[in-house]
Amino acid sequence: MEMTLEKILQGQGFGTRRQCRDLVWDGAVEIGGRVCENPAERISTDGLVFTVDGKAWQYREHLYLMMHKPEGYECSHEPQHHASVFALVPWQFLNRNLQCVGRLDQDTTGLLLLSDDGQFIHRYTSPKKHVPKVYRIALAEPVTDAQVSALESGVQLHQEKNISRALSCGRLGTDCLEMTIDEGRYHQVKRMVAAAGNRVVGLHRSTIGGLSLPEDLEAGQWRHLSAEDLQKLAGLPASQD
């Protein structure tokens, strides 16, 4: 697909059409080592890598990111009491209407997805899709057999009609659980644990679908999802190429 250079820059989040023209006229944009001079030049986006002010950017029609969300950050563009996770990504992404694919509380850490693709966001946030998510849960009190059994068989949450059940639930220690759920109710894990008779003091999401948080992705870091990551997320077998 071909587009004008100014439209490419605008679509990648570098500002308004006029601001993108100015970047080109100022000599800030290069492709293949060539300084671009014409904002109206038509460029193929297939495999396109360009630089703006010396920094390389790969053209992406949509953004698909994973982040290791740290504690003390809100999943909101308008945070109330803490910093926003969007402060951890390049400002150009915000011009592309980047959104969290579901939210984690400010005190919850772990795997967070972000995208500007509405269909992708719906696929992984809609309760009807039943996407499994795995959490590590630190508890205020030692976990009992009865509590594990209650979480697996189902607990009644306040002001909820349906019973909430864990797909699986097992001990990781005397006061730590690993639990898998496939719903996305408000504060669901914390409310389920409370309904079972304990209290969450630490919560970490390790997996969404078939995608687990990489061990080498430190808290506060992010990266683009690869084709293999997207396959794992959807629960598809890895490519044999």
Task: State the average pLDDT for the chain.
Answer: 94
Whether residue 109 is predicted with pLDDT greater than 90 in this model: the reply is yes
Write out pLDDT tens, residues 138-159: 999 999 999 999 999 999 998 8
Report the CATH number that the domain containing residue 145 is assigned in CATH.
3.30.70.1560
Give residue 240's pLDDT.
45
Q: Is 46 a catalytic residue?
A: no
Are 155 and 196 in contact by the 8 Å Cβ rule? The answer is: yes
Whether residue 239 is predicted with pLDDT greater than 60 in this model: the reply is no
Please report whether residue 240 resides in a domain.
no
Give residue 238's pLDDT.
55
Sign of CA dihedral 102, 107, 111, 113: positive
- 87 with 104, same domain: the answer is yes
- 117 with 226, same domain: the answer is yes
Whether residue 9 is predicted with pLDDT greater than 90 in this model: the reply is yes
Report the CATH number that the domain containing residue 49 is assigned in CATH.
3.10.290.10
The span from the CA of 71 to the CA of 219, in Å, is 8
Mean of pLDDT values over 3-19 = 97
Please report whether residue 187 resides in a domain.
yes
- 104 with 84, same domain: the answer is yes
Q: What percent of the chain lies above the pLDDT cut of 70? A: 98
18-22, 159-163, 178-182, 208-212 — which is least confidently predicted? 159-163
Beta strands in the chain (DSSP E): 2-4, 29-31, 34-35, 42-44, 49-52, 55-58, 64-69, 73-74, 83-84, 99-100, 108-115, 133-139, 155-156, 163-164, 168-173, 176-181, 200-208, 211-212, 222-224
Report the CATH number that the domain containing residue 74 is assigned in CATH.
3.30.70.580
The span from the CA of 53 to the CA of 38, in Å, is 16
Give the residue with greater pLDDT, 151 vs 161: 151
The span from the CA of 135 to the CA of 206, in Å, is 6
Candidates 22, 105, 107, 175; catalytic one: 105
Please report whether residue 238 resides in a domain.
no
Domain boundaries, position 106: 64-127+216-233
Give the residue with greater pLDDT, 31 vs 184: 31
Mean of pLDDT values over 66-89 = 95
Are 29 and 36 in contact by the 8 Å Cβ rule? The answer is: yes
Please report whether residue 239 resides in a domain.
no
